[in-house]
Amino acid sequence: TRGDNKNDCKNLKAAKMNTGKRFLQLESNEKQPKPKKRKFNKRTEEEDATAKPEKCNICRQHLHDIKLYSGHLNKSCEEFVALTDDRLSLFTGDEESIPEGDELPTHKVTQFSVYDEKGHLCPFDSGLVEKNVLLHVSGYIKPIYEEDSSSNNGIPAHGMGPINEWYISGFDGGEKSILGIVTAYAQYILMEPSEEYAPFVELLGQKITLVKVVMEFLLDRYVEDPTYEDLLEYLEASGKSNLTEDFLLQHAQFVCDQIYSYDQAGEENLLLIVTPCVRSLVTLAGVTFRNRKKMRQTEGKTTKKPSFTKACTTSLVRSIFENFFPDQIETQDKKGPKKRKCGVCDACQASDCGKCSNCKNMVKFGGSGRAKQACKLRRCPNMAVEEVELSEDEEEEGKNPVRRKSSSIRKSVNKVEWRGEPVLTIKGRSFYDACLVGGTETRTGDFVMLNSEKPNEPLSIGKVEYMYDKFPQGPTVHLSILYRGNDTILGETANPQELFAVNVCEDAPLGCIIRKAEVVHKKPPKDWFESGGTEPQPPPEDDGHSFYISKEYNFITATFTDFVDRNLKTELNTCSNCLLEKAKNKHETPIIDNEDVFWREETYRVGTTVFLNPTAYDFSSHLYETNSDSIKSVDESVYTEYYRKTIDVKGSNQDTPEPFSIGLIQDIWTHKRDIKIKVRIFYRPENTKSGVFLAHQADINTLYWTNEFTTVSFKEVVGKCYIMYCDIIELPTNWPDEGPYRFYFTEAYDPTTYKFYEVPSEAKKIGYAGNGKVGKGKSKSAKTSHEQPPVWEKLERPLRCMDVFAGCGGLSNGLHQAGIAETKWAIEKEPAAAQAFKLNNQDCQVYTDDCNNFLQKVMAGETKTFPGKGEVEMLVGGPPCQGFSGMNRFNAGQYSLFKNSLVVSYLSFCDYYRPKVFVLENVRNFVTFKRMMVLKLTIRCLLEIGYQVTFGVLQAGHYGIPQTRRRLILIAAAPGYPLPKLPEPQHVFSKRGCHLSFAFDGVRYTNGNIWKESAPYRTICVRDAISDLPEIKNGSNYTEIPYDETPISHFQRRMRDSDSSELLIDHVCKEMAPIVEARIAQIPEIPGSDWRDLPNISVPLNNGTMTSKLNYPYFTKRQKLGEPNRGVCQCALGSGCDPSDRQVNTLIPWCLPHTADRHNHWAGLYGRLEWDGYFGTTITNPEPMGKQGRVLHPEQNRVVSVRECARSQGFPDHFKFHGTVMDKHRQVGNAVPPPLGKAIGMEIRKVLAKVGSQAK
């Protein structure tokens, strides 16, 4: 004992003696209970389920589970006495001082038991120590060097403690973890438990094993931002049968406490608790963090920080991005980038205030520009980008708007004198071609800088279109306004010397002109394609009034296109912008001439087939009816969580709009300045009496002739389509695919009698008769006066394409289907994905390498095995999205920074190779990541290279897949080439997945689509996608199985194309644990079913054990009187969680009702797909309790297979994946859906085909 603690020891000794007396008395009373007659009352199962089990008020164990301490060891003594034994002393007493770490001696204790003051054996790891419950230990104390775990030569002791702290060490590489406890007198390393205490330590050992496996996983994979599904996969691969998801959730509090303790004891910059998998575990299991002592870290393996290849960049890209990714960009300058501004903080994002002395001296605010000092409010406080990158609010709006610049109220500040006589006088306006403003001559066509009444607004810049004098306004100028870079979406990332042409003009007083500006048209050099990767020319000094212009800007879609100096003026008093606006309005306004309507460069006449808004005609039937009876009355004593369900089901098509109606124009006339049309309505299969069943079997291009007519305004027309009659015996094969929006009909339908009948003879004249072969009708009357459908544009040859971050090749596959690209080169670092790409693209050179290593070799001149400049005509890719993904909320780690920096590498590929077309695909969050900073810099970089740029968020479900998947698509076109538009929606989709615009500081940008509310084709559902696939069992791993039926739906026929064999490949699925399989079997096969439909019963498992029923001991604060108990933890009463409330091996997972109230009832977990619904975003690892939610087959008791996930992405059945089941799931989940790639490719094909035809 320590000398300075003698008084404390005496006091503690007295307390221990009193405690001992109480303990002996309690022990005696509990060992010899008075016999009482027990009365047995019959209880219902419902009462058993809701009965609150009685607990000890000290150890919080259920009374029927308590085990009593058998008593003190023979000849045992109290702790402070035992510690005086000479056998435990490591010091002679002659030491001058004792190291601080040895002031509290460390010994070992074996054959130990832990008990409370009532004599109940207690687990010391259940939170009792943290709650200051007095726990004591008995056992044999041994010296620290002793290895024998028997009681031999041990010093028997009792009443050791109470335990002040316990710890585990050895997670950092030791073969066996060390358990230790700390009392007021000593630290003890625990050896072997007593026989009576062994079950407690056995369970603790299993928990420690779980923690060790989890820690090994985190230390090995933390750099990859592993997901919850990745963790489950690792546990399954560990080979330990007890390490299941249920065991993990059961002991999540223990696991997270140890991870948190490790973080506290370890390196400050290594926080395992913030990895996505741990945060998901915390949320799912309802973990709460208590104040714990720091964990002891022993010798062992140290965590090595991974070294990443830094982004290899060209000089131009580096100059733009180096301040955003300073640690991820390779630079030859050892001094690092010049410290200008971080570009990310609030100060850097702000606009110049225009009020401080520095701003007033700037040329753009009318000053001299001599001071050359930054705005005082924009002085960057630091270059610590890390501080901004730790922000979790990725979609926070900035403080400064990027919006269409409104016309400012300008005031005249300079004297105006007209030069010469008026050259034109019209309606009281006298037009001049020259004047003096403030003594400076200004002429028509000059560029000028304008004053503004707002002091914080930079001087506007405009081109003088014409000048006139009129009473009473006085001298006035009409200007075409040019936007500065910070008036566009680029904000403060823009080049301050670059201006953008916009279709905006205004009238202003001539005296508001401050000075003239110099604006030059910057054209790309003739050797632009060959000059990639070279050192850019240094920019000229910014004198405040010299600018250049090379691009036009669309402020609605944030699109940048090549500037064309259109001189449309025919008179002195005309403006090119005004003429363009007039032409645009004419283009958007229907004009009738001799019963022909001209609209959007198309001619509509009698015989034209048109798309109409769905509201133009009311069909009596609908494809997906709202199931208002989905919430039914059930026995809540069995289905105890059913009360949480609502009608609204994620993944349902209840809110999906109808596709366009289709009508054949019969007559055209005008009525009160409105154009009216009479149309014959064609029915789709889903509009008939057969409804959904016929819709799933018929081709999506099928229509039915009817005698239904309606008269509508031409405003209901949204576009053209094309129809053809064909013989029912010889249906068209490729005709619908040879051009846009082609439909055919073989039968007529009477909606009044619900009968199908033969098409009348006059209808058979529409299109081509017979076998559907174009131009080969069977009769002379085959060809009619009806408008003939156009065909897709043809290319001389597809573009030579390079796919970077290629994955298994989803994007390339879609571009190949569009006929726009031939992928010659692909770069993919993951071997399994690279092999999958090679399997499906035999003629492609696939590089299994880091893209940075590839680019370094190319830039070093190694072109023998790599493509050279001018060879790559199209560059496509999707840089890994872990850092941007909304499914990865906690993304500030170094690995995510590295992944994000791969955007820089990808842009360097573009700068070096200078392809004609550049496509970047990423998750939707790429748009708003870091206040749009990465997107802004990406656009700025492409503009600096010379590219035209458009981007937007697209919903993949709009292009023919049964899945919601919103993705950013950015397309860039080389200067001189037309910029493709983003594709219009082709299929209707659920409204909840179609929020595709995005806002930044109050300004909303769209993707430019015209069709926003509907589309030409119906939605594709789960039934369309997978109903023809053979039935398989849980864990099926047969890579090839025969189809057992013919394809049913249009989608299935497309997936099982002529390239597919008679064998189905990759229809394999993950094997679930016994209890998970039992839960899946209990999920009903009805729409909207999930864990809330599980019955609270006991069922046998396939391993021979039985599940337990879930008890509800608490009446929650949210309940109403008369309702059964619904709380599973005392936190339902408003107090803290009690670890002893946790229940295991239950059919209803205890963790879900525990935290459901604050997590939207965990809707969708253990959810079945709905036959008439759609898939959630396909991820890399389908788990019943994972983030995707509904991953169970609609009818079979298993999770979806690899092939079913591939069908949800639109991969044809012949497409091969490679590796393990998890490798294949990862390849599917990371891929771009091929139908989305095809839609993008078709838009590129349209514009390039026009270039080819113009060249001819």
Q: Where are the beta strands (DSSP E) in 683-729?
A: 702-705, 709-713, 717-725
For 631-635, 911-915, 1092-1096, 1179-1183, which range has the lowest pLDDT when averaged over its residues?
A: 631-635
For 921-935, 1118-1132, 1202-1216, which range has the lowest pLDDT when averaged over its residues?
A: 921-935
β-strand partners of 106: 187
For 564-573, 672-681, 909-918, which range has the lowest pLDDT when averaged over its residues?
A: 564-573
**Mean pLDDT rounded to a whole number for the chain:** 82
Residue 126 is predicted with a pLDDT of: 83
Task: Give the closest residue to 351 by CA, choosing from 381, 383, 374, 319.
Answer: 374
Q: Which amino acid is at 1164?
A: G
Residue 732 is predicted with a pLDDT of: 64
For 555-559, 745-749, 965-969, which range has the lowest pLDDT when averaged over its residues?
A: 555-559
Backbone angles phi, psi at 51, to 5 degrees: -70, 135
**If you ran DSSP here, which 8-state letter would residue 102 be given?**
G
Non-local (6+) Cβ contacts of 1197 within 8 A are 1034, 1077, 1080, 1081, 1083
Residue 22 is predicted with a pLDDT of: 37
For 106-115, 657-666, 763-772, which range has the lowest pLDDT when averaged over its residues?
A: 763-772
If residue 261 lies in a helix (H) or strand (E), which one and from where to where? helix 252-265
For 102-116, 296-310, 742-756, 1156-1170, which range has the lowest pLDDT when averaged over its residues?
A: 296-310
Active site amino acids = 881
For residues 1061 and 392, which has the higher predicted lDDT (pLDDT)? Answer: 1061
Please report the DSSP string for 1068-1122 in residue order. Answer: --PPPPHHHHHHHHHS-SSTT--GGG------B-TTS-B-BPPP--B--TTPPTT
For residues 24 and 142, which has the higher predicted lDDT (pLDDT)? Answer: 142
Q: Is the pLDDT of residue 623 over 70?
A: no
Residue 146 is predicted with a pLDDT of: 87
Average pLDDT over residues 1121-1135: 88
Please report the DSSP string for 346-411 in residue order. Answer: HHHHSPP-S-SHHHHTSGGGTS---S----GGG------HHHHHT-S-TT---SS---PPPPP---
Average pLDDT over residues 151-173: 83
Average pLDDT over residues 126-141: 90
Residue 373 is predicted with a pLDDT of: 67
Helix (H, G, I), strand (E, B) or coil at 685: helix
Residue 796 is predicted with a pLDDT of: 87
Residue 898 is predicted with a pLDDT of: 44
Tens digits of residue pLDDT in 410-465? 888 899 999 989 998 988 899 999 999 988 999 999 999 998 777 777 889 999 99
User: What domains can be seen in the chain, in order of their start residue?
Assistant: 3-34+60-285 (no CATH), 416-533+544-588 (2.30.30.490), 606-623+658-782 (2.30.30.490), 799-1017 (3.40.50.150)
Query: Please, where are the H alpha helices in 691-830?
Result: 691-697, 810-818
Residue 372 is predicted with a pLDDT of: 58
Tens digits of residue pLDDT in 732-748? 667 888 899 999 999 99
5 — pLDDT class (breaks 50, 70, 90): very low
> How far apart are alpha carbons 713 and 708 in whole angstroms?
17
Q: Is the pLDDT of residue 820 over 80?
A: yes
Give pTM, 2 decimals.
Answer: 0.82
Residue 862 is predicted with a pLDDT of: 77
Backbone angles phi, psi at 28, to 5 degrees: -65, -45
* CB-count burial class (<10 Å; 0-12, 13-18, 19+) for 523: middle
> How far apart are alpha carbons 209 and 188 in whole angstroms?
21
Average pLDDT over residues 77-86: 89
Average pLDDT over residues 344-371: 65
Tens digits of residue pLDDT in 750-802? 999 999 999 999 898 887 544 444 444 433 333 345 678 899 888 889 999 99
327 — pLDDT class (breaks 50, 70, 90): low
Residue 24 is predicted with a pLDDT of: 38
Q: Is the pLDDT of residue 1166 over 50?
A: yes
